[in-house]
Amino acid sequence: MAFYTPVQNVRAFRRMTGYDQINWNDFREVVNAFHGRIDDWYILPTKELIRHREGGHYAFAIMALNCLLIDTLSQFYYGALTSSGRRFKDFVRDCIPTLAGNLPTPINQPVSQHNQTGDPLRTYEEVLYTGFRCGILHQAHVPLYGVLAGVPGPFDFQAAGVTRYTSNNADCPTVICHPQRVFEEVETAFIKYLTDLLTPGAATDPLRRNFKTKFEDSFGVTISITI
């Protein structure tokens, strides 16, 4: 049971659509409304930034939206009420494998409140979460082992020549990220997720149950997941 519930005849669920205009017992209509809300909040603003960027100057904002969208989708995908690093990385591995995989060389990290053992980063999904997601949202910048720039794919790995460890002046591996290419991969995963939600079958039943758990808690309405 959600802690809050909306007054449906005065609240908007998405742009130009009120809560009371949606049939919450029609799962296809619910998914379409969810699609529209995610478009309004994440997809369309990102595309607008991409369309207007000059020389990649909006790369930071685009990457921030990418990370927020992955965080959001991971919660609906697993039926989680809050975000977590484990679910973020699991979602990337399970649903966006083009953004996952082992780094050629681990990236060392300092001991901190969130990494008390100083464990190195060993995978791209770890760099995506710790470096880009947490760096942007918690530190207001990407750590120096991460770079936002135009590269052929979502990521490029530079073993040397870009960053150094302060302690010994040794080369620190660096992950260069192309925010637009990352967005393309995330949007593809989002569309597939929507398709899976609307495809009946035993394989997709858990997705709908997880979606219902997160949706009802987030938006304060009871929905049917019958297709």
181-222 residue pLDDT tens: 999 999 999 999 999 999 999 999 999 999 999 999 999 999
Q: Please tell me the predicted confidence (pLDDT) of residue 52.
A: 84
How far apart, in whole angstroms, are the C-alpha atoms of residue 30 and residue 38?
A: 12
Q: Please tell me the predicted confidence (pLDDT) of residue 113.
A: 66
| pLDDT band of 57, cuts 50, 70, 90 | confident
How far apart, in whole angstroms, are the C-alpha atoms of residue 204 and residue 95?
A: 14
Of residues 117 and 164, the one with the higher pLDDT is 164
Half-sphere exposure of 75 (CA within 13 A, CB side): 16
Residue 29 confidence (pLDDT) above 80: yes
Does residue 128 contact residue 92 with C-beta atoms inside 8 Å? yes
**Model pLDDT for residues 123-145, shown as the tens digit of each residue:** 999 999 999 999 999 999 999 99
Residue 117 confidence (pLDDT) above 80: no
**Packing angle of the helix pair 27-38, 205-219 (nearest 10 deg):** 60
Q: Which residues, other chains included, contact 197 with Cβ-Cβ below 8 Å and sequence gap of 6+?
A: 31, 204, 207, 208, 211
3-state secondary structure of 47: helix
Domain limits, the chain? 12-219
29-38, 50-59, 202-211, range with the lowest pLDDT: 50-59
Stretch 159-171: mean pLDDT, rounded? 97
Q: Please tell me the predicted confidence (pLDDT) of residue 176.
A: 98
Mean pLDDT of all residues belonging to the chain: 95
Tokens of 55: 């020389």
What is the DSSP code (8-state) at residue 22? Answer: S
**Model pLDDT for residues 37-51, shown as the tens digit of each residue:** 999 999 999 999 999
Stretch 84-102: mean pLDDT, rounded? 98
Residue 55 confidence (pLDDT) above 70: no
